Amino acid sequence: MTEVVTYRPEPAEMSYTFGGREPVLRVRPGTVVQLYTEDCYGGRVRGVDDLPSRVCEFPYLNPVTGPIHVEGAEPGDTLAVHVVAVEPARDWAVSSTFPHFGALTGTHTTAMLHPPLDEVVWMYDVDVAAGTVTYRARRGDYTVALPLDPMHGTMGVAPAAFESRMTIVPDAHGGNMDSPELRAGVTAYFGVNVPGALFAVGDGHCRQGHGEVCGTGVEAAMNTTLILDLVKGVSTPWPRLESDDALMSTGSARPLEDAYRISQHDLVSWTAELMGLDQLDAYQLVSQAGEAPVGNVCDPNYTMLARVARRYLGGVTAYDGVHARLRETGRAHLAHR
Amino acid sequence: MTEVVTYRPEPAEMSYTFGGREPVLRVRPGTVVQLYTEDCYGGRVRGVDDLPSRVCEFPYLNPVTGPIHVEGAEPGDTLAVHVVAVEPARDWAVSSTFPHFGALTGTHTTAMLHPPLDEVVWMYDVDVAAGTVTYRARRGDYTVALPLDPMHGTMGVAPAAFESRMTIVPDAHGGNMDSPELRAGVTAYFGVNVPGALFAVGDGHCRQGHGEVCGTGVEAAMNTTLILDLVKGVSTPWPRLESDDALMSTGSARPLEDAYRISQHDLVSWTAELMGLDQLDAYQLVSQAGEAPVGNVCDPNYTMLARVARRYLGGVTAYDGVHARLRETGRAHLAHR
Amino acid sequence: MTEVVTYRPEPAEMSYTFGGREPVLRVRPGTVVQLYTEDCYGGRVRGVDDLPSRVCEFPYLNPVTGPIHVEGAEPGDTLAVHVVAVEPARDWAVSSTFPHFGALTGTHTTAMLHPPLDEVVWMYDVDVAAGTVTYRARRGDYTVALPLDPMHGTMGVAPAAFESRMTIVPDAHGGNMDSPELRAGVTAYFGVNVPGALFAVGDGHCRQGHGEVCGTGVEAAMNTTLILDLVKGVSTPWPRLESDDALMSTGSARPLEDAYRISQHDLVSWTAELMGLDQLDAYQLVSQAGEAPVGNVCDPNYTMLARVARRYLGGVTAYDGVHARLRETGRAHLAHR
Amino acid sequence: MTEVVTYRPEPAEMSYTFGGREPVLRVRPGTVVQLYTEDCYGGRVRGVDDLPSRVCEFPYLNPVTGPIHVEGAEPGDTLAVHVVAVEPARDWAVSSTFPHFGALTGTHTTAMLHPPLDEVVWMYDVDVAAGTVTYRARRGDYTVALPLDPMHGTMGVAPAAFESRMTIVPDAHGGNMDSPELRAGVTAYFGVNVPGALFAVGDGHCRQGHGEVCGTGVEAAMNTTLILDLVKGVSTPWPRLESDDALMSTGSARPLEDAYRISQHDLVSWTAELMGLDQLDAYQLVSQAGEAPVGNVCDPNYTMLARVARRYLGGVTAYDGVHARLRETGRAHLAHR
């Protein structure tokens, strides 16, 4: 029988790093966890006059819920995180520019002599029943409904090598990958670096464009249901995703071509291994059949995914079929709640 | 009545640059041109033993058909190129690695001390009726049919500033953008830099993955039907695409984030102008509604596109509706040929 | 009277991160510390057959001595570290390639399909009296003496935002900048992020080329004498260096132009502030008078320095003259030991 | 006996590309050429109110003197250009910001939503006798004399593959490398791509900082004396420099680490070949003995040099000693003029 744990962190329990924190929860592999996650502003931006640079305080940005210790997880294992549901917790969401953050502005890294762009907040109406979020121009009256497509920008485990990283950083441990692919129905795989894996999740988006060009998505608190499971004795070098239709590898680095290289290299290697293909044959197959959905082009590392449809891989099974099993469990959980 | 011109270049008429060549053809705006384009290998790789580095000779690579002088085109105008049809000219196509070329190998630019990867050729069967190209592993027996999705990797006009560029380079004049978006049904816009525009096209792919990671797509000679038209007095800073569903801007540069920045910046500016939006309001809208399909991550400049669905732009019309008109003309042409 | 503390860590006391460790030592501001630092291989590569990938174990690489708690250091202060002496502790030193590490090889980030370059170790003779280190070819008999120019590749404090970073990473907290400028006679400034600053130092090089292109310098254990002092209430955004002749700012990031931008931006801002110049006037002055010594082009972030000679700055004094005072103290210490 | 040719172009004879132009002059190998070069503004910025964006017209920027046809030069040969003298032609020089150009501003490539930085012109006094150029702040009264160190930002030959490139672009054919190393006493080597080589030179700087961070040096018209000679049957992949003390390779690319990689790769290969060293032995030697002077970090490609002192190479002779011979000829020419 499936164990179900519900956890809503107090503000003081929020985490701001992957690594360096004691777990807030311990679960057995296979547990369904129902979590509340706060938005990347810590819930402090509630109207257009709440400028993030005034109401938020560094480094208390992008809080995550966790870390969660998964019993039995050891370095060298893989944590499988099946996303059952990502449900907006409020009927509004928010996006903004932020001084010296985003892809079309000078930043602290791409350092320039320009003053920052204007700091502007946009409030979105969230209509779960209609499946929309509504954009409203701030300096005009244009309004348009966009499809609701909830996802988590930030998900990962404690890093290797005794590191602790701000939640805003994506890297080999996961983190702030900001990929719209991380939505319900997907299983994410993370290599375990420390006992218990120390999983955490946050930064819900009602939707985001590719690359999160202004620096933020349609940011929202979420009620999120996940299944945390283990694949023992199998390592995973960079976070991978599996959907019913596709296999995906991620890469997070700068410049952006290195994020592309990491993700494509991992997908070529993974495909070769799964299919028993020669490496160059897999390189050719991914070259013609592969896709490259962009994650973020604004965070401390940029993120790209490499994706190949299962139907081009002859129905191959990855990680011993854990995605299909968790998918079934997730559907059953939703049907009975 | 629509004028139709058919042109099949002799081998000696092929061009290897944008700019620096006399036109091979002169047409009036609105002309339907039916062109033959050779593949990127100049048609010399016809079997797995035809290693490109042996049968091809630098700089006679990636031949294009053209340049075509469009009467009345002047600097400051925009050339509209509607793609009516892209049809494989043979029942086979080819892909390969090439020494020190591709995204997962050291190159002459990302210079490394490694010897080149193995040079390998893959032959594909092209079945137009079935709508497939068939991949076959070289060092094993795996075979899979992939969807036929014909496109042109290379399309553009003579560059500005008296430049002449190898056809393998994508930049503000177009060139080797290697984007799968450049398929039938799309209208491409190029800013005119010299009298007559001097348009050329080549590098047909039966399909390609995102980024063309191994360096080549499923390369094929094509019979291609285009309509060449002019938008007088309207300039276009970087190549743009329009489909029935979406507006797209391109950017070509290194590192890859700069290709992303150029394309997103142009789409933000274009959207703001078309919709009468404030620039930051357009930045926000593109941030949440925009997509970022990858072109190439292997050519001398990398290419990204920025795309936004028309349905989020309130049915706006770009370039005075030229896409819809050419789309209609193209359909009529296909119906009557 | 100057306090002098001598500390030689036991192997188990070595640190492998900045941040996340309890201090091994507490000193008052102004203390002279005499430290032993182990080489980046942990002293385990002692001959050409000691291949690093075999004798070293991840993540126990690049050990640092520390962290040292400096009493009274608070976030917002600046730690001034004057380098009195860097003296090779052995009469040999070592360099090597390392699989998938270095500037002219595919790496885990610039991911490629090539197998690693050969792993090769070079042993150097160190002759302090002659002031030389002697290179010997491994696959031939060429030998040449190069000038001894001892320095520390790694120096820094605990990072901000609860982060803990591998010692191999350079960033705003310092770390593995691998700049030959960090030699005796220089004062380094680090912004303090946590109480006590938690300073550490390691990765001595008998010398290195610009960029450390193969991934390592002439690696050596060192006996190093530093003075640790505080500048209260003055913050420092990125590590800075001051010599008798020049002011220097550092930047560490990828791609390399961002390391350049950060360092030049900081030097422009610092110069403007010190000289009372308008920002664009400082930009112009640094543009014509500035230098840009390369640190590393092989670590997880690349490092560049921006340098301007004092003589072009009208004899300006930085940080209230702390460099001159510590320089004097350091000379006196050397004269009397 | 040495042939001497003096040439001062009329304004209409200036070139704005490498390639695509008929030669303005034909000389025999070994000829001393005395040339006048205009500054990068075409001489139109003569005071602080002459804003470049108003007085200059694209693409008539960065004029070069040439192209010069060197008789007998064929593809596969190397053109040796010995710089005898670079002498400022006026007693003033000029620098400026330029909208969306420079390392600390958004550009057309690193596209951002910021308005351009202020466009400001700085006039310098040039005192050849004193050996100084004098900086004056525009928004304050700070003044300082900097050493005169005349050089050419732009020097090169016609590119390969029928290309023609704006003079502002540095690449394998040379062009706008903007390296302070290209001063009197140096011999530059360029691979010949077309019959006659078609050499041109321009963009004199009285001095520049490393990277030309604001986008321009201390720009000046020059009277420049060169010797143009040929090394038959020896190819040169990227421009190289030779001084009495050092060998240098250049690389021009984006991102900046690729410019570094190209230059270091070429220096490693060149050193290995000259010294008969194994490639990894040369890699190690350059890693410890090499330097990496920055050229530009603002042009369409960035430029880095890789340098190794001759004294670490056992007195090796490159290109059959052509530098020493031309150096002697140059000295004799100066002594007798």
Q: In what helix (H) or strand (E) does residue A54 lie, and over which residues does it extend?
A: helix A52-55
Per-residue pLDDT of D176-199, as tens digits, reads: 999 999 999 999 999 999 999 999
**Is the Cβ pair A264, B135 closer than 8 Å?**
no
Query: pLDDT tens for residues C130-158?
Result: 999 999 999 999 999 999 999 999 999 99
Residues 6 or more apart whose CB falls under 8 angstroms from that of B328 comprise none
User: Pick from D106, D111, D115: which is nearest to A112 by CB?
Assistant: D106
- Specify the amino acid at residue D222: M
The answer to whether the beta carbons of residues B134 and B157 sit under 8 Å apart is: no
Residues D308 and D241: their CA atoms lie apart, in Å, by 11
Determine the pLDDT at residue C2.
87
Following CA atoms D33, D36, D38, D40 in sequence, which dihedral angle do they give, to the nearest 10 degrees?
A: 30
User: Environment class of residue A87 by beta-carbon count within 10 Å: exposed (0-12), middle (13-18) or buried (19+)?
Assistant: middle
Pairing of strands D302-309, D222-231: unpaired
Q: How far is A257 from chain D (nearest CA, A)?
A: 10
CB-CB under 8 Å, D104 with A111? yes
Q: Assign 3-class secondary structure to B247-311.
A: EEEEEEECCHHHHHHHHHHHHHHHHHHHHCCCHHHHHHHHHHHCECCECECCCCCEEEEEEEEHH
Q: Does the structure show a pLDDT above 80 at B140?
A: yes
Is residue D5 over pLDDT 80? yes
Predicted confidence (pLDDT) per residue in C11-30, tens digit: 999 999 999 999 999 999 99
Nearest beta carbon to residue A117 from set D104, D110, D114: D114
- CB-closest option in D97, D146, D284 to C280: D97
Sequence-separated (6 or more) residues with CB below 8 Å from residue C258: A109, A110, A111, A254, C251
Annotate D120-175 with three-state secondary structure: CEEEEEEECCCCEEEEECCCCCCEEEEECCCEEEEEECCCCCCCEEECCCEECCEE
Distance of CA A245 to the CA centre of its chain: 19
What's the confidence (pLDDT) of residue B261? 98
β pairing state of A64-70 and A25-27: parallel
Q: B203 to chain C nearest CA, in Å?
A: 26
Distance from CA of C231 to the nearest CA of A (A): 23
Task: Answer whether A144 sits within 8 Å of B312, measured CB to CB.
Answer: yes
Chain A to chain B Cβ contacts (< 8 Å): 204
> Does pLDDT of A207 surpass 90?
yes
Q: Which structure tokens are listed for C156? A: 């820094």
Q: What distance in Å separates the CA atoms of residue C48 and residue C38, rounded to the nearest whole number? A: 18
- Tell me the pLDDT band of B315, cut-offs 50, 70 and 90: confident
pLDDT digits (tens, 9 = 90+) for C79-96: 999 999 999 999 999 999
CB nearest to B59's CB, from D160, D166, D253: D160
Is C179's pLDDT higher than 80? Answer: yes
Q: What is the mean pLDDT of chain C?
A: 97
Which of chain B's residues have a Cβ under 8 Å away from the Cβ of C105?
112-114
pLDDT score recorded for residue B337: 84
Q: What type of residue sits at position B202?
A: G
Q: Greatest CA span in chain B, whole angstroms?
A: 60
pLDDT of residue C337: 84
**Minimum Cα–Cα distance from D110: chain A residue:** A104
Q: What is the pLDDT of residues C29-69, one digit of tens each?
A: 999 999 999 999 999 999 999 999 999 999 999 999 999 99
- Whether residue C312 is predicted with pLDDT greater than 90 in this model: the reply is yes
Which tens digits make up the pLDDT trace of B155-199? 999 999 999 999 999 999 999 999 999 999 999 999 999 999 999
Partner residue facing B210 (CB), from A137, A261, A290: A290
Q: Which residues of D touch B264 (CB under 8 A)?
A: 111
Q: How confident is the model at residue A2 (pLDDT cuts 50, 70, 90)?
A: confident
Angstrom distance (rounded) from CA B289 to CA D36? 55
Q: How far is B62 from chain A (nearest CA, A)?
A: 19
**Closest CA in chain A for residue D255:** A255
Cα torsion D96, D102, D108, D111 to 10°: value is -130
Residue B1 has pLDDT above 80, yes or no: no
Q: How many CB atoms lie within 10 A of CB B125?
A: 15
pLDDT at D320: 96
Nearest residue of A to residue B145, measured between CA atoms: A312
- Tokens standing for D188? 């530059």
Closest-CA residue to C305 (of C151, C88, C132, C161): C151
Mutate to test the interface with B, among C109, C112, C117 (most CBs of B within 10 A): C112
Least CB-CB distance to B114: which of C105, C111, C255? C105
The pLDDT score that the predictor gives to residue D337 is 84
What is the rounded distance in angstroms from the CA atom of residue B177 to the CA atom of residue B228? 19
Residue D2 has a pLDDT of 87
pLDDT tops 80 at residue A164: yes
Contact assignment for D164 to B164 by CB distance below 8 Å = yes
Query: Is there a contact between A35 and A8 (Cβ–Cβ < 8 Å)?
Result: yes
Domains observed in chain B: 4-336 (2.60.120.580)
Contacts of A105 in chain D (CB under 8 A): 112-114
Q: What is the pLDDT of residue D201?
A: 98
Across the range C195-203, mean pLDDT stands at: 98
All residues of chain C having their beta carbon less than 8 Å from the beta carbon of residue D94 are none
Contact B113 C117 (CB under 8 A): yes
Rounded distance, CA A328 to CA B5, Å? 59
pLDDT of the residue at B191: 98
Residue of A nearest to C283 (CA): A113
Chains touching chain D through at least 3 C-beta pairs below 8 angstroms are A, B, C
Residue A211 DSSP one-character state: B
Q: Helices marked H in chain D — which ranges? A: 52-55, 256-275, 279-289, 322-336
Task: Output D50 or A315, whichever has higher pLDDT.
Answer: D50
Is A332 strand, coil or helix? helix
Mean pLDDT of chain A: 97
Using pLDDT thresholds of 50, 70 and 90, give the confidence band for residue B135. very high
With a cut of 90, say whether residue B2 has pLDDT above it.
no
> What pLDDT digit, counting tens, does each position of A131-148 carry?
999 999 999 999 999 999
pLDDT class for B77, splitting at 50, 70, 90?
Answer: very high
Cα dihedral C198, C204, C207, C209, rounded to 10, equals -60
Provide, as residue numbers in chain B, all residues whose Cβ is less than 8 Å from the Cβ of C254. none
Spatial neighbors of C314 by CB under 8 A, at least 6 apart, are C275, D142, D144
Would the CB atoms of D140 and C285 count as touching at under 8 Å?
A: no
Do residues A283 and A325 make contact, with C-beta atoms less than 8 angstroms apart? no
Q: What are phi and psi of C257, to 5 degrees?
A: -65, -25
CA dist., res. C330 & res. A128, Å (int)? 68
Q: What is the DSSP-derived secondary structure letter of residue B113?
A: S
Q: Are B268 and B282 in contact (CB under 8 A)?
A: yes
Question: How confident is the model at residue C125, as a pLDDT?
Answer: 98
ipTM surpassing 0.90, yes or no? yes
**Which pLDDT value is given to residue A12?**
94
How close are the terminal C-alpha atoms of chain D, in Å? 14
- Per-residue pLDDT band for C315 (boundaries 50, 70, 90) equals confident
H or E element in which residue A330 lies:
helix A322-336
Task: Give the mean pLDDT of C205-230.
Answer: 98
Q: Among C110, C163, C283, whose Cβ lies nearest the Cβ of A165? A: C163
Report which of B92, B96, B117, B121 is spatially closest to residue B107, judged by C-alpha positions.
B117
Segment B278-289, tens digit of pLDDT: 999 999 999 999
- Cβ separation B261–D166 shorter than 8 A: no
* pLDDT tens for each residue of A170-203: 999 999 999 999 999 999 999 999 999 999 999 9
pLDDT, average across residues A238-242: 98
In whole angstroms, give the CA distance from residue A125 to residue A127. 6
In this predicted structure, the answer to whether residue D315 has a pLDDT above a threshold of 90 is no
Nearest CA in chain B to A254: B257
pLDDT for position D208: 98
